[in-house]
Structure 1
C-alpha cells in the first residue's frame, strides 16, 4: 500500500476513534456515568425499528422522524445480550434499571421496547445534541484531512 493511502487510513482511523470516544462520553454523561446502560438502551431503541429502517415503505416515521409505538417491535433481552457480547444477567440488570427509570417498557413476557414518548423526550434530546456536536466535529476533521476526504 502506498504511503499516502496508509496516512489517509490512519488519519481517518484517528478521527473515527475520537468521534467514538466523544460519543461514548456523551452516552455516559446522559446515563449518569453508566455507559453500558446507555449502550443497552441504544441497542434496544435501534433494534426496535431496524425492520422499518431496512425496508422503508408506507407508514414511515412521523413528521418528527419518530416511529409510532404500533410500528416498533419489542426485542428480547437475550438478543440484546448476544448482539453486545454481554452475559444475559448483566444485560437483564441494565434493562431492569432502564425500565425502572421509564426509559424502556416491557412488552409481553420477554420483550422490551423504547416507546416513542421517550424518543421524543429530553433524554434523547440530550443524546441528539451531543451526537450532532460530535459528528459535525468528526466531519470537520475529515474535511481538514489529507485530500479533503469528504470531497
Structure 2
C-alpha cells in the first residue's frame, strides 16, 4: 500500500507542478514562491476555531491576510534569499503578488481571482480529486 500511495502522491505533485509552472512561463521556482507566498498569508488562520466557516467563502478576506518576508519564504522553500527576492520582484511586476511598505509579500484575493489563477486552481482541484479517488480505491490489503 505504501508504494501505491507514494505513486499517487507523486502523480498529484507532478500534475500540480505542471499546472503552476505553466502559469509562470515554465519557471518552477517562481511558481513555488507564488504558492508559498499565497499559503503563508493565510497559514495563521488554520489555528482559529472558526477556520471551517472562514474557508466556506471564495477567498479569505484580505484584512485577515498577513504578509510574509522574503527571508521567511526563502527558508520555507530552502532556496537562497536573493533568488527568492528576484522571484518576488518578478511576481510583483507581473501582478501576481504585492509588496508591502515593510518589504513583505502578500497575495491578495484580487490576485487569486485572476482568470489564469482560477483555471490553475480548477486543474489542481481535478488532480486533488484524482488523488483522493485513488486513495479511497486502494484495497485494504495492498
Are the counterparts in 2 of residues 48 and 73 from structure 1 also a CA contact under 8 Å?
Answer: yes
How does the TM-score come out when normalised to structure 1? 0.84
User: 2:9 is matched with which residue?
Assistant: 16
User: 1:93 is matched with which residue?
Assistant: 86
Offset at residue 70 of structure 1 (A): 1.4
User: 2:111 is matched with which residue?
Assistant: 118
Offset at residue 143 of structure 1 (A): 3.2
User: 1:3 is matched with which residue?
Assistant: none
Q: How many residues align?
A: 141
> Hey, what's the Cα distance between the residues in 1 that align with 2:73 and 2:13?
20
Most deviating of 139-148 and 108-117: 139-148
**After the TM superposition, which parts of structure 1 deviate over 6 Å for at least 4 consecutive aligned residues?**
none
Question: Which runs of no fewer than 5 residues in structure 2 stay unpaired?
Answer: none
Offset at residue 56 of structure 1 (A): 3.7
Q: Higher relative contact order by CA 8 Å / sep ≥ 6: 1 or 2? A: 2
> Hey, what's the Cα distance between the residues in 2 that align with 1:78 and 1:16?
29
Q: Kindly report the root-mean-square deviation, in angstroms, between the aligned alpha carbons of the 2 structures.
A: 2.0
Are the counterparts in 2 of residues 15 and 141 from structure 1 also a CA contact under 8 Å?
Answer: yes
Offset at residue 40 of structure 1 (A): 0.3
Pairwise mapping of residues 1-151 of structure 1 onto structure 2 (< 5 A)?
8-57=1-50, 61=54, 64-147=57-140
> Hey, what's the Cα distance between the residues in 1 that align with 2:95 and 2:5?
38
Offset at residue 14 of structure 1 (A): 0.9
Q: 1:48 to 1:26 in 2, by over 3 A?
A: same
